[in-house]
Amino acid sequence: MSVDQLGRRRLLQGSVAGGLMVAIGPLGASAVPGEAGGQELQSWVRIARDGAVTVLSNTSEIGQGTGTAIAQILADELDLDWRRISLAMAPLDKRYFNPNWGEYGTYGSGGVAYQLAPLRRAGAQARAMLIAAAAREWQVAASECDTDSGDVIHRASGRRAAYGLLVEQAARQPVPTDAPLMPRERLRYIGRDIPRLDLPAKTDGSAVYGIDVRMPGLLSAAIVQCPVFGGRLAGVDRAPAMRMPGVRQVVLLGDAVAVVADSYWRAQKAVDALQPRWDLKRAKRPDSARYMAALHKAVQGDGATFPPAKTTAAQVKVRYAQATRRARRSVERTYAVPFLAHATMEPMNATAVVSQDRAELWVPTQSQTGTQNAVAQLLGLPVSAVTVNTTLAGGGFGRRMELDFALQAVHIAKACGAPVKLIWNRAQDIQHDFYRPAAVVKVTAGVDGDGMPVALRIDSACQSIFQHSRLGEWSKWSRPVDSSAVGDLPDWYPLAALKVQVTTVDVGVPVGFWRSVAATQNVFAFECLIDELAHEARSDPMAYRRKLLPAGGREQRVLDLLAERSSWHRGPAPGRHRGMAFSRANGSLVGHVVELSVDAQRAVQLHQVWTVIDCGTAVNPHNIRAQVEGCIVFALSAAFHGDITLSGGAVMQSNFHDYRLLGLAATPKMDVQIVENWEKPGGAGEEAVGGLTPALVNALFAATGQRIRELPLAKAGFSI
């Protein structure tokens, strides 16, 4: 047993506020620097005296439903009555830092994957404290007590007490370090298709997103940013805007102009009336064609070699050289992908109130800690003077990890001394994203006498996400080799040697994390090449991959279930064609089969996608299937249409007519299966994106005999 004074005080405060604040054991010292040895406690559940339970989620709701999963985990360990549970965002406090990130943020598919174990422990501790409180009240041994869906019970005497009545005593109990986890046979929520807690409010218009924030005296702002990346504002005549109705102020930012008005529409009309002059002297002004040519050139040279954990670049090179000596021949293919926008349905926005010594924000964000720190730095305030409230987000996909829109709102709110909600229009959103980097990926396989790869080399060239995202906070990880261009190393096939070399070619285009990140280019290249090798070896692509994977492992199990679900060995109906791909990401294994047909005009009809995911413990299988379905549509939009192009350093697309998304009519049937197990959880929100594109492109090869190595498919004349 151990309770530290600070934690104890917090618990008591929690109980005064009307509920038990459940303590979670201290995080590892590495996760929260300076917080070693139980100095900080985390609190996840409030139980009111009437038994109502509020579960606090530290994971932004960007569509992925993690809050419900967190509630399921705590409900099981605490033995709660699901009907009494509601969900709220946890405040921005160290107690709620994701243990793997050491900050409050939502990315890397880490909401469940890194928190299942600590949340279970926290729930178990709270349950033990409730039992201890009841046992003390009844003067019986805690070991004689149990729980039953929101009550503590003492079977011998038939006594029963609701959590709500025990909560104040429970908060005074020491936090046990050895509370037993709920045995698997008593789990009622983890692993079940529990309806998401956030969905009812999303069917009647009552859900409040960032763009919906309202408060007394709130003004609206619209913005125009320099269309050329790296350009600055040289000047602007404010008069055309100031003459317009409802306009309060024109605010000049370093690379943008904002107008504040009493309604968004008036602000936007007034921004549209401005003719800012831009200073482009320092802008690099790239064009897409020239930039792609530079990337193609870069992969012909030797980039920096990526050293996997516990290896050096020198060792990688030696192993690769040795392995290639066993190869009979070499197969080299080069793949190219464009910049891509996130295009969340809710455009970027943020609401801020700034006073002399405080700032408060309401933001649909994936980076609470990052936003708080950056705002504090901008205003010269201590971090504690900046409050960040997380709203619902109309999509995230990595875009809302960035801080740009929140910092703009703070600038504007400070300038006009009133609460301001900044809303970007769609053109601003498409033209000022942090894009999935355009990339060229050259894959070289050394193939043995049996047609199997023994050595693999990947040369990639792109901009570094780590140099651009979050104001360059992580740029140290871009040197000497940019690990954001590598992502999950494609080592799920245990080849003798794998060498990854990266060249960073920067032209000043903001790039960021885009659902599944580097897998979107690397898995595309890698799994298309594997398909070519299978074809050259006259092997079935499923059997070829199976042979490459560890015998009897989880990977083969995914493929076997995929083959079974898709009736792979029976093959498609006449006129239909299939392709497949397999990959691993964030601890999850994913296999896809795509079935399609192509007509003489290259119009593609997608008939069905079969997907199998092994993401370890599946806390909410129904929701995981929904995420996989979303990944499939996300990848299809990019594969067929996605293309952000640059001319003179400006993005040429501006809305959904020229940055198209897949619609309902083109969406194929989907069969998504989850491998059931209780392994360590992996990610589920983005892991099915990377492999879908190669599966699709491999199916197009089956249909047309053509290997597509450049995206989007529209460039090769395919339509959907």
Q: List contacts with another protein (CB under 8 A).
A: 61-65, 195-196, 198-209, 211-212, 214, 220, 245, 263-266, 269, 343-347, 392-397, 423, 425-426, 622-623, 625-627, 629-634, 655-657, 661-665, 667, 669-670, 672
Tokens in use for 253? 């930012």
Helices 519-536 and 692-704, axial angle in degrees (round to 10): 40
Q: What's the min distance (Å) between Cβ of 212 and another protein?
A: 4
Nearer to another protein, 238 or 426 (CB): 426
Nearest to 272 by CA among 243, 246, 240: 240
Nearer to another protein, 82 or 544 (CB): 82
* DSSP state for residue 191 in the 8-state scheme: T
Q: What's the min distance (Å) between Cβ of 699 and another protein?
A: 19
Nearer to another protein, 215 or 314 (CB): 215
In one letter, which amino acid is 39? Q
Q: Which residues, in sequence order, are CB contacts of 85 under 8 Å at separation 6+?
A: 53, 54, 55, 71, 75, 197
Whether the Cβ atoms of residue 334 and residue 296 lie closer than 8 Å to each other = yes
Nearer to another protein, 573 or 665 (CB): 665
H-only helix segments in 79-208: 110-113, 116-138, 163-171
> How many whole angstroms from its chain centre is CA 262?
35
Nearer to another protein, 126 or 392 (CB): 392
Nearer to another protein, 485 or 696 (CB): 696
Q: What's the min distance (Å) between Cβ of 265 and another protein?
A: 4
CA-CA distance, 340 to 644, in Å (whole number)?
A: 5
Write down the residue that tokens 């020239």 correspond to: 290
CA atoms within a 13 Å half-sphere pointing along the CA-CB vector of 701: 19
Nearer to another protein, 203 or 601 (CB): 203
In one letter, which amino acid is 289? A
Cα dihedral sign, 99-102-106-110: negative
Nearer to another protein, 424 or 718 (CB): 424
Q: What's the min distance (Å) between Cβ of 606 and another protein?
A: 12
Q: What's the min distance (Å) between Cβ of 580 and another protein?
A: 20
Q: What's the min distance (Å) between Cβ of 63 and another protein?
A: 3
Q: What's the min distance (Å) between Cβ of 605 and another protein?
A: 12
Tokens in use for 710? 């450049």
Q: What's the min distance (Å) between Cβ of 696 and another protein?
A: 15
Nearest to 80 by CA among 164, 191, 181: 164
Q: What's the min distance (Å) between Cβ of 250 and another protein?
A: 19
For 180, counting Cβ atoms within 10 Å of its Cβ (0-12 exposed, 13-18 middle, 19+ buried), the class is exposed
Nearer to another protein, 198 or 279 (CB): 198
Q: What's the min distance (Å) between Cβ of 345 and another protein?
A: 4
Nearer to another protein, 583 or 627 (CB): 627
Computed over its alpha carbons, how large is the radius of gyration of the chain? 27
Nearer to another protein, 493 or 659 (CB): 659
Tokens in use for 139? 């003067």
Q: What's the min distance (Å) between Cβ of 567 and another protein?
A: 16
For 115, counting Cβ atoms within 10 Å of its Cβ (0-12 exposed, 13-18 middle, 19+ buried), the class is buried
Q: Which residues pair with 457 in a beta bridge?
A: 444, 499
CA angle (424, 393, 251) in 5-degree steps: 25
In one letter, which amino acid is 605? Q
Nearer to another protein, 558 or 624 (CB): 624
DSSP strand E in 105-218: where?
A: 145-148, 151-154, 159-162
User: Which string of DSSP letters, residue by residue, matches 481-492?
Assistant: S-GGGT-S-S-S
Nearer to another protein, 268 or 467 (CB): 268
Nearer to another protein, 396 or 587 (CB): 396
Q: What's the min distance (Å) between Cβ of 634 and another protein?
A: 6
Q: What's the min distance (Å) between Cβ of 383 and another protein?
A: 29
DSSP strand E in 355-467: where?
A: 359-363, 386-390, 420-423, 439-447, 453-462
Q: Which residues, in sequence order, are CB contacts of 469 under 8 Å at separation 6+?
A: 401, 402, 434, 484, 511, 512, 513
* DSSP state for residue 332 in the 8-state scheme: E
In one letter, which amino acid is 135? A
Q: What's the min distance (Å) between Cβ of 464 and another protein?
A: 26
- The secondary element (H helix, E strand) that includes residue 235 is strand 232-235
